[in-house]
Amino acid sequence: MLFKKRGVFTGEDAEKVIEWMSGQPGERELIIMAEEVTDEAKRRLWDYARAVQLMADMTGEDRGVRVEILEGFVSDRVRGIDVEEL
């Protein structure tokens, strides 16, 4: 799923995204598109991906989440969830 935000993507934004993603067990891809992403937000997203993998390993599931962070221009033409609306 693609999440986009104009401006700086912060740790609080990462929490909102992780909360939304945790309710969608079928999602395997997390893409963040923002003009700038803080180090704290990056760490939270990567920690979430590691936690999902760890839980899957413990339960024997085949599940993982791939995190991709795109910094720079945020296009209005790209479909995705606006973080401001979460």
Burial class (CB in 10 A: 0-12, 13-18, 19+), 27: middle
Q: How far, in Å, CA of 64 to CA of 40, rounded?
A: 21
Residue 80 covered by a domain: no
Residue 58 covered by a domain: yes
pTM score of the predicted model: 0.89
Residue 61 covered by a domain: yes
Bridge partners of 13? none
Residues 8-44 have pLDDT tens digits of 999 999 999 999 999 998 899 999 999 999 999 999 9
Instruction: Please give the pLDDT value at position 50.
Output: 96
DSSP string, 43-57: HHHHHHHHHHHHHHH
Q: What's the domain count of the chain?
A: 1
Q: What is the domain extent for residue 40?
A: 2-75
Instruction: Please give the pLDDT value at position 26.
Output: 87
Residue 22 covered by a domain: yes
Residue 81 covered by a domain: no
Residue 60 covered by a domain: yes
Instruction: Please give the pLDDT value at position 9.
Output: 97
Residues 47-80 have pLDDT tens digits of 999 999 999 999 998 889 999 999 999 988 999 9
